Structure 1
Amino acid sequence: MRFGLIWAEAANGLRRNLSMVVSVVLVTFISLTFVGTAVLLQMQIGQMKTYWYDRAQVAVYMCIDSDKCESGSANEQTIAAVKAQLQSPELAPYIQKFYYQDQKQGYEQFKEQFKGNQISDFVTPEMIPPTFWVNLKDPSQSAVLTETLSGAVGVQSVVDQRSYLDQIFQILNSASFTAIGIAALMLVAAALLIATTIRLSAFSRRRELGIMRLVGASNRFIQTPFILEGVFAALIGSLLAAGAVYAIVGVFVQGYLASRIPSINFVTEGDALVVAPILLLVGIVLAAVSANFAISRYLKV
């Protein structure tokens, strides 16, 4: 009977404050959608780091202009010497595989990469340096290769491609942190709105609350319907946010981006389903804590 009465009081409060409930639903929906998007973005960045860092190569550029290299320009002897170093017992344990790309092959690859770009019209094969492309067993140990080959005869520079990737991931991380910041602000707004809604609901029923106190109702019995109101509204917003995140992944990420950038492993609907329970839990806990704080403060006044 007591549970029936509590649920009846909660339903009555939702009906009386429908406009405020809708506001709570919308704010919770928007804020948790930002939260879910930020979490998925971090998951995407993690996947991309794993994928691209494992495939990042170290480029050993041979010198084609003696004026730019203290050790002199590359020739057949210096190229053979670098190859021997890569196969030496000192470096071989770190190397998974490597291959040599001469100027003609490098030029063909350059034209393929910049196909349709006018820049390719101004580049000749003589401008492309011969290069050793090295895949390391552990990409984080590229410093061993850099220290060994930098300054070698005929070597212009040793470049770890991960240095380029770091700049890209810094930008992506900045975007992710921005989304997290916005989500945090929206969650604060949702918590304040839930608390305000509960206080207004309690104020509109102040006469009923006074009667309940006179007949000996406990504070917990009085507080529970109000907490349920906030949890119910936040739960609807959380479900909408989970559905929106799932739709974003299915329609935009997998439907649009994946078809246009097939080389990247994007987050999937399965990842969105992993995030969904987190959104539901955050929404419920946020509403319960905010509503409990608001009604407790009101009853003490």
Structure 2
Amino acid sequence: MRLAFILGETFSGIRRNLSMVVSVILVTFISLSFVGTAGLLQLQINQMKGYWYDRVEVAIFLCTETSGAASCAAGAVTDEQRTAIQDLLDSPTASAYVDSYEYESQEMALDIFREQFSNSTMSDTVTAEQLPESFRVALINPEQYEVVNEMFSGMPGVEVVSDQRELLETLFTLMNIASVVAVAVAVVMLVCAILLIATTIRLSAFSRRRETGIMRLVGASKTMIQLPFLAEGVIAALIGAAMASVATWAVAHFFVGDWLTQQYPGTGFISGVDALLIIPLLLIIAVVLAAVSSMLTLRRYLRV
């Protein structure tokens, strides 16, 4: 009986303030969609770090005729210098850090360059002599790059030792900035949702002040009077959170998991299953914010 009464009063209040309730749903949907997007970005960043950090290579670029490094003062790398570098890679000292390595000649570097820049006119103007030879080194532990860098930097014939993680860190930094921006927008939108929920509850309490007065006179408890108003805000927020959850899952499943995976098959992407980790958080945020906002409003505008 009490449950039927509470539900009846709740949906009656929703009907009376339908436009405000719809506004709460839409604002909650948009704000939690930004929260979901930020969560997906963080999951993708962690996924890419785990995927790429295990595959990054250290590139030991060898001197060319045009190299300006101090170790290249004598000109292009010689056969003796190249052999000395390879011997060090094969030595027990380096073997503790080096998992494997491959030699890339200038001709191989040119083929790779032309493949990467096939749509640019640069591919026709660059020659093999302009590109450096290199050893592509896979490390046992990518975090030990500095050890390998110190080992080979400054060797005769070595122009520079480059760690691909530097490029990845730039990408991850940009993705983290995008995630922070999404969270900031979400916070602003959540504040708007809280204010809308408070306004909706206040209008509902004002429009039903006569009913609540009668309920006080007949001895209804404080909880019985306040629960329908509280339920209005929670239901509206939950509907918005459910919509945001569907949108978050759809982005992860169709855009990231399907489309991006097909476009970039060599990259590890998240999927719709990963988005399921975020959905409970969105629902919890919606319930907590709606409940807190409703309770504070009821204490002020519905004194029982």
* TM-score normalized by the length of structure 1: 0.95
Q: Is residue 227–residue 288 contact of structure 1 (8 Å, CA) maintained in 2?
A: yes
Q: Is residue 195–residue 291 contact of structure 1 (8 Å, CA) maintained in 2?
A: yes
Partner of residue 209, structure 1: 212
Alignment of 1:116-265 (within 5 A): 116-265=119-268
Return structure 1 stretches of 4+ with deviation > 3 angstroms.
Answer: none
How far the C-alpha of 1:141 sits from its partner, in A, is: 0.6
How far the C-alpha of 1:253 sits from its partner, in A, is: 2.2
Q: Deviations over 1:110-160 (max 9, x none)?
A: 112212311111211111111011000111110001111111111111111
Secondary structure class of the residue paired with 1:264:
coil
Instruction: Select between 148-157 and 241-250 the one with higher mean Cα deviation.
Output: 241-250
Q: 1:173 to 1:206 in 2, by over 3 A?
A: same
1:273 to 271, 276, 281: 276
The whole-number CA distance in structure 2 between the counterparts of 1:173 and 1:129 is 33
Q: Is residue 61–residue 129 contact of structure 1 (8 Å, CA) maintained in 2?
A: yes
Secondary structure class of the residue paired with 2:70:
coil
User: What RMSD in Å do the two structures reach over aligned CA positions?
Assistant: 1.6
Q: Which amino acid aligns with 1:34?
A: F
The whole-number CA distance in structure 2 between the counterparts of 1:272 and 1:118 is 42
Q: Which amino acid aligns with 1:101?
A: E
Instruction: Select between 12-21 and 270-279 the one with higher mean Cα deviation.
Output: 270-279
Q: Deviations over 1:150-190 (max 9, x none)?
A: 11111111111111111111111111110111111111111
Q: How many residues align?
A: 301
| Unpaired runs of at least 5, structure 2 | none
Partner of residue 24, structure 1: 24
Secondary structure class of the residue paired with 2:269:
coil
Secondary structure class of the residue paired with 1:232:
helix
Q: Deviations over 1:27-74 (max 9, x none)?
A: 111111111111011101111111112111111111112762333331
Q: Is residue 69–residue 154 contact of structure 1 (8 Å, CA) maintained in 2?
A: no
The whole-number CA distance in structure 2 between the counterparts of 1:67 and 1:55 is 28
Q: Deviations over 1:221-260 (max 9, x none)?
A: 2111111111111111111111112222233223332222
The whole-number CA distance in structure 2 between the counterparts of 1:70 and 1:243 is 58
Q: Which amino acid aligns with 2:298?
A: I
How far the C-alpha of 1:191 sits from its partner, in A, is: 1.1
| Unpaired runs of at least 5, structure 1 | none
Q: Which amino acid aligns with 2:188?
A: L
The whole-number CA distance in structure 2 between the counterparts of 1:27 and 1:300 is 28
Q: Which amino acid aligns with 2:62?
A: M
Partner of residue 43, structure 1: 43
Q: Which amino acid aligns with 1:69?
A: A
Q: Which amino acid aligns with 1:52?
A: W
The whole-number CA distance in structure 1 between the counterparts of 2:70 and 2:33 is 57
Q: Deviations over 1:71-130 (max 9, x none)?
A: 333111001111111122221111110111111221122112212311111211111111
Q: Which amino acid aligns with 2:274?
A: D
Q: 1:250 to 1:79 in 2, by over 3 A?
A: same
The whole-number CA distance in structure 2 between the counterparts of 1:262 and 1:182 is 32
The whole-number CA distance in structure 1 between the counterparts of 2:139 and 2:236 is 53
Q: Is residue 67–residue 159 contact of structure 2 (8 Å, CA) maintained in 1?
A: no
The whole-number CA distance in structure 1 between the counterparts of 2:119 and 2:254 is 30
Q: Which amino acid aligns with 1:155?
A: V
Q: Deviations over 1:4-40 (max 9, x none)?
A: 2222211211121111111111111111111111101
Q: Is residue 14–residue 21 contact of structure 1 (8 Å, CA) maintained in 2?
A: yes
Secondary structure class of the residue paired with 1:158:
strand
Secondary structure class of the residue paired with 1:105:
helix
* TM-score normalized by the length of structure 2: 0.94
